[in-house]
Amino acid sequence: MFFLASKVVGFFAVPSNAMLMICVLGAVLLPTRWRRGGLRLLALGLTLLLIAGWSPLGNVLLLSLTERFPAWQFDGRAPDGVIILGGAIDAEASTARNALELDGSAERIVAMLQLARQFPGARMVFSGGSANLVQAPVPEAPIAGALLQSFGVAAERIVLEDRSRTTAENATFTRDLVAPKPGERWLLVTSAYHMPRSIAAFRAVGFEVEAYPVDWRTRGWVDAAMPFDRLSAGLARTDVAVHEWVGLIAYRLAGRSTQLVPGPRR
């Protein structure tokens, strides 16, 4: 139920969708007796679209998430396992084309392959089912597993979790699958903007992991003052950031995390 509700609410929580709906509602009201209200809604929607598309708003919202966890630094102690969260493989297209198709978070897959080679003794866990509500679900995990084996990673090192549809399920199902032991060191690989919610979800189920953020999308706070030169680019950045902030709030309210925006452990 939470999954379905998150998808429905998530559609309207995407700024570009909400702004377009405001514009559409305003346009619908123009030929009616509420024309003045329609004009105001249309003006509001267009103004919000321009602000979200050209201003640095998307970068500011994203940076407030990506800068929570610094890049992971190797201190000489190899991890016992590496967890890679799904969301980087277009499973439907990959299956249809019989070829690996990646999306905008492809850095997760690159990091997976790099870490598998850097730490040959670590278990490689890919957690990713399918969150598709429209088409027949095709999980990401088997595709990632086949990719790891094609790069020479031994099958006994690979653990695939293919049921999860949300970040909370990533945490719960992965914990149950790998049964981490006290003292073990586990890395968590996901996009930097998604790391706070991911860490919060794993901590909520008692699985302590170390953040290995990738897919930063910005150079740092210097981009907080940089406007976008394409409306679509700014809208896309704002959509990603707001979606993640809404997810953080929803997880906190639903009890799927104990912190709104967690940070590194001292």
| pLDDT tens readout for residues 27-76 | 999 999 999 999 999 999 999 999 999 999 999 999 999 999 999 999 99
DSSP string, 197-262: HHHHHHHHTT---EEEEE---SSSGGGGG---SSHHHHHHHHHHHHHHHHHHHHHHHTTS-S-SS-
Most distant CA pair in the chain, distance: 71
Q: What is the pLDDT of residues 218-237, one digit of tens each?
A: 999 999 999 999 999 999 99
Number of other CB atoms surrounding residue 213 within 10 Å: 26
pLDDT confidence of 8, banded at 50, 70, 90? low
215: left (phi over 0), alpha (psi -120 to 50) or beta: left
Per-residue pLDDT at 111 exceeds 60: yes
What is the topology classification, in CATH, of domain 73-214? Rossmann fold (3.40.50)
Side-by-side strand order, sheet with 123-127: 158-161, 123-127, 81-85, 186-191, 210-214
Per-residue pLDDT at 2 exceeds 60: no
pTM of the model: 0.91
Give mean pLDDT, residues 155-180.
97
Per-residue pLDDT at 3 exceeds 60: no
Tokens 């084309």 belong to: 97
Q: What is the pLDDT of residues 113-147, one digit of tens each?
A: 999 999 999 999 999 998 776 677 899 999 999 99
Give mean pLDDT, residues 84-91.
96
Q: How many Cα atoms occupy the beta-carbon half-sphere of 48 within 13 Å?
A: 18
For residues 73 and 75, give the distance between their C-alpha atoms in angstroms, rounded to a whole number.
Answer: 6
Q: How much of the chain, in percent, has pLDDT values that exceed 70? A: 95
Comma-separated ranges of CATH 3.40.50.620 domains in the chain: 73-214
- Mean pLDDT of the chain, nearest integer: 94
Q: What is the pLDDT of residues 36-50, one digit of tens each?
A: 999 999 999 999 999
